[in-house]
Structures are given as C-alpha cells and as structure tokens.
Structure 1
C-alpha cells in the first residue's frame, strides 16, 4: 500500500493506493493539518509514504508530526533530471516545483503523448511535455482567484469580482471574471499551438480545472490530483 501527500499552496491532498487502484482520496486545509492524524489508524502501515511539498519546511514538519507512526516509510520527493520516464529540461532541474514535476510524471503515465499539462490552482502552471516524456518548459501565472484579488487590492474602484463569464460582458464583475478566464484559456491554447503536432492533448488538473476546461477550444481531459498519480508512479519504481 502506498500513501501519497501533495502539500500545495492552499491544501494538502492525500491518497491511498493498493497497487491496483486508489482506495481513498481527500484534502485538508493547512490550518486543519491535525486532521491527518487519523489516517494511520485507518490504514495499515504502508510500504511507502510519498510527500511532495511546495508549502515550505514548516508545513512539511507539521505533516510529519501528524503522521509519526509512518516516519520510517516517509519519502520526500524532489525534482531531478530524469525519473519515471520523464526527462526534465529545466535549466536547473532541482528548481522545478515538485508539484509540477509529479504532475508531469502522472500525466505521462496516463497519457503518453504530446501534452500540455495544466495545474489550475492557487497559481496556474502550463507545462509542455512531448510523447517521449521530455518536459520542454512551461509557464506560471496567477490563478483565477489571485487575478481577481490583485485587481481588488491594487485598483481604486474594483472590488473582488463575483460575476459570470459572458461573451460580451456588460457589467464590471462579469468583465473581470471573463477577462481572468480568457487569460487562463488563452495562455493554455497558445502553449498547445506551439506544441501541437496534430494530436496534442491538454491535461487539466487542480481546483479550477473544470471551470477553465468549459471555455477551451482545444482537445482536453480532466485528470484530478495529477501530483498524487505522479507520486504513485514514483513509489512503484525500484
């Protein structure tokens, strides 16, 4: 049994895999990390506990404190030049975010073809991956909520927008929400156009994936919790 943890900017996602299928998945806010303490009592001691953490050393320490029973099985994942069939062409491979690294591994394992791998959460990352598993490069932009908060914080007359997408927005809230969605979709579609060799796929994951996917005009698929899938694949390696 493999237990995987993806500690992101906002939440800690977790999953339990028995080698054939996911038995359970869940998520807690960082403020509620104590809720993880119930997991060791619910699951037998796993073979490995995989952690991908982008929330800082203190967050990782708090997670470990709640899971002391699994301490001997813990494995902190870090990005490297090559693992699990994926080659990392980042100028300094270690500087690639570990959540992006795991998402790329997860996407390549599920869809071994030219792909744009999108993680749409607090930030949106848009990464290009070819069919051979080579990570060519990628982009980072503010997520939908960060875009709206930036306008509310840094402009005098714009509150945090609670509008709807519209082809021709006719109120300010709708104009902001539409602009943010169009910015996300446009960046994704531009990356896809650069990569596309006729059958490239856009793989969407993260809390805003389903919303953004509604407005894309390129082939795409939802793949929830891609970093967990990547962690599972890493755990399965010798």
Structure 2
C-alpha cells in the first residue's frame, strides 16, 4: 500500500493506493507545517510500503512532512519531479523544472483518463489552465489568482467592505459583496470558455474540459461549456507515475 501526498500552496491532500486509483481523499490545511489532525489520522494508519508526494507548498512543509513520516514509519518521502516526457506526454516548457509538478501530474492523469484533446483547469490558491492535445503534446497554459486570492487582493487594494457573500444564480449582482464573489468566479469561467473555444477551433474537435482543485465545484455554475470535475487529479497522476516510470521520482 502506498501513501500519496499532494502538498499544495494551501492544502494537503492524501490518499492510500494499492497501485490503482487513489482511495478516499482526505484534505487538511497545512500552514507550512504538519497539521495536528493529519498526525491524528496517521497515528491510526497502518505503515505504508512507500510514500510518494507532489510538493508546491515549499521546503518548510516538505521537511516537516518528511520528519513525521520518518518518526511514524521510518520512511522517507519520495518527491516527484516534473520531466519533459512521460510516455506520450510532452511538456511545452523548454525548462521543465519551471513547470509546476502539480500541473504536470494533472496532465499525466488527464492524458491517461481521457482520449481526446483536453483543457485542464486547476482551481486552487492559483487557477491554472493547461491545453493538452490528444497525442500528448502540451501546448502551454495560463495562470491567474485563484478565487479567494482574487477576492482578497481586490479588498486589500480598495475601500470595498469585507462582506461575506456568495454569488447569486445570475452572472451579475445587485450588491457589492455578491458582485465581488461573482466576479472572481466569472473571470475564471470566462477565460476557460475563451481557451476552450480557441482549442476547439484549432483542433476541429470537442475538447474535454476537466476541473480539479479545491474550488472546482464552485466554478461549475459559472461554466458555459460541458465540464467534468476530477478533484483527485494530481493524486491520480502520482499513482500513474509511481506505477509507470520510477525515474520521475527524485
């Protein structure tokens, strides 16, 4: 049994895998350290055979997690690194190490799970957009602030009051709080539509639109293209890398 870890900018997702799809996904906020509720869960966990991780949360949380796994099970964490090629998948970046490992793993999983051209949107602390052709060629992507970061930066730079609110069913709003809430979702949804349509015209096919990340479900009402939510996409990519090509692990 393997322990798979997806250490994001804000949250840590983990699941167990026997070499196939990840099991139940657990989510905790890490705060650049090891959360106490994670340790409580791990105290009850039977020792895994391997621990494999994706980390974009920084060296502090990686070191803290590594200390915990050595203390509990005497195991070091194997951190996956982005690489230019993985099977048919080819990354567009000329310097693959500059391409986030979470984005890379999401593409590894997407290419395995869907046969068609795909637009992969990861809506987390940052919102990333990656375009992937059916033959495995990655065209590139874009990055925006995520939903909460977009809202926080607007409120920090203006005198708009901090009003806790969620958008209504309409794409616009009749009050300031809902306008800010709707704007952040609509901005990401609008860019998704623009990229989807460009990809559709370029390839003369109907691409798959895959949403992942903590805010994927929140985006669904704002989307005007058919989308599927795969919240464990990075963990699925980890499982693929571990079972398919050990040299991707550093």
Task: Give the TM-score of the pair, scaled to structure 1.
Answer: 0.92
SS of aligned partner of 1:9: coil
Q: Is the 2:130–2:141 contact (alpha carbons within 8 Å) kept by the matching residues of 1?
A: yes
Identify unmatched segments of 5+ residues in structure 2. 246-250
Distance change (3 Å), C-alpha of 1:70 and 1:125: farther
3-state SS in 2 of match to 1:183: helix
**What is aligned with 2:226?**
219
On the 8 A contact 2:171/2:186 being kept in 1, the answer is no
Residues 203-227 of structure 1 deviation map (CA, whole Å, 9 limit, x = unaligned): 0011111111222111211111211
TM-superposed CA distance for 1:125, in Å, is 0.4
Check the 8 A contact 2:155/2:162 in 1, yes or no. Answer: yes
Alignment counterpart, residue 53 of structure 2, candidates 51, 54, 71: 51
CA RMSD of aligned residues (A): 1.9
The corresponding residue for 1:27 is 27
Shift of 1:99: 0.7
8 Å CA contact retained: 2:117, 2:134: yes
Q: 1:27 to 1:84 in 2, by over 3 A?
A: farther
Q: How does 1:40-79 map to 2 (within 5 A)?
A: 41-46=44-49, 48-68=50-70, 69-70=72-73, 72=75, 74-79=77-82
SS, match of residue 203 in structure 1: strand
Cα deviation digits, residues 178-206 of structure 1 (max 9, x gap): 22111110111111112113220110011
Taking the aligned partners of 2:240 and 2:76, their CA distance within structure 1 comes to 16
Q: As a proportion of its length, which structure holds more strand?
A: 1
Counterpart residue number, 2:185: 181
1:171 and 2:178 are equivalent in the alignment: no
CA drift of 1:108 comes to 1.1
- Give the drift of 1:50: 1.2
Q: Which residue of 1 aligns with 2:248?
A: none
- Give the count of matched residue pairs: 237
Q: Distance in 1 between matches of 2:60 and 2:171?
A: 44
**Judging changes above 3 Å, is the alpha-carbon distance between structure 1 residues 233 and 139 closer, same or farther for their aligned structure 2 residues?**
same
C-alpha spacing 1:161/1:24, structure 2 compared with 1 (3 Å) = closer
Q: Bigger shift: 132-141 or 157-166? A: 157-166
In structure 2, relative to structure 1, the CA distance for the partners of 1:160 and 1:83 (3 Å cut) is farther
- Counterpart contact for 2:69–2:76, Cα < 8 Å: no
Q: Over residues 87-118 of structure 1, what are the superposed CA-to-partner deviations in whole Å (9 max), with x where a residue is unaligned?
A: 11113111001111111111111113100001
Compute the TM-score of the two structures, normalised by the length of structure 2.
0.88
Deviations 1:131-178 (A, max 9, x none): 011111001101111111111100023435524233342111122122
Give the CA deviation at 1:20: 3.6
Gaps of at least 5 residues in structure 1 are: none
Q: Alpha-carbon deviations, 1:63-100, whole Å to 9, x = none?
A: 11111155556321111101143111113111001111
* Aligned-partner Cα distance in 2 for 1:130–1:78: 22
